[in-house]
A and B are shown apart, each in its own frame.
Chain A
C-alpha cells in the first residue's frame, strides 16, 4: 500500500510518500504506526507520540484500532489546523 505523510510527520520522516509492505500480522492502524516507528530515527521521531498522530485510509479519517486490510492509501499527519 502507499503510505503518505503530511506536515511535521513528512518533515521528520523525510519523505512525502512511499510504498510499504507490512507483514501479515500487522492488522490495525496502531500496529502499522508501531511497525513504521521501528524503521529508523526519522520514523521514530515522527511517531514518538502516537496520541498526536491522525490517520486516514483511502482519504477518510480512521481510528487507531481500524483495520488496514484492503487499504490502498494510508496517510499519517498531525492534528489538523485549517480554517
Chain B
C-alpha cells in the first residue's frame, strides 16, 4: 500500500484530547512506522496575566481547511499516518490547544510534515483568540503575527 494513501484524522472539538492516546492509535498494530513526531500547543499564562483564551472558530470551514492542509502535507511527504486536533472555546493556561501527530517511515519527513502543518494551521485555519486577563479585563483579540506568515511562506512552491 503506498504511504500517500494514508487517511488523515481531523477533529475540531471543545473537549481536551490525550496526545499519548492519539499517538498510540496511529501506531497500533503497525510495523512499518519508523518515526512519530507529535506537537502539542499549550495555552501560556503570559507571566500570570492571562486567565483564559476564548477560541472562536468557523464551524465547518475549520474542519475543511485543516483537511485541505492535511492533504497538502500528504501530497508532499510519504506519511503513514496523520492526526490533527484543534480545540475551540475557553482554554485556560496549562491546557492543550492543538495537536499534530505525523507518522512516517523516516524521521525527516515526520518532522517536516509536522512543522509544515503547524505553520499552515496558524495562518489558514479559521480560529481567532481573545484574551481574558486575570484582573478581569478583556485583553482583546490576539493580533496575527507577521512571523507566522513568514514561517508559512517558506513552504511556498515556486
Contact = CB atoms under 8 A, between A and B. Distances in A.
B121 A81 contact: no
The B contact surface, by secondary structure, is mixed
Interface in A22-52: none
A61 B128 contact: no
A42 B121 CA distance: 30
Contact of A7 (B56, B121, B123): B56
Contacts of B55: 82
A79 interface: yes
A75 B141 contact: no
- Contact residue range for chain B? 20 to 34
A2 B71 CA distance: 28
A50 to B, nearest CB: 15
Contacts of B127: 80-83
18 contacts: A4-B58, A6-B58, A7-B141, A56-B58, A59-B58, A59-B60, A59-B61, A59-B64, A59-B65, A60-B65, A81-B142, A82-B57, A82-B98, A82-B129, A83-B121, A83-B125, A83-B127, A83-B148
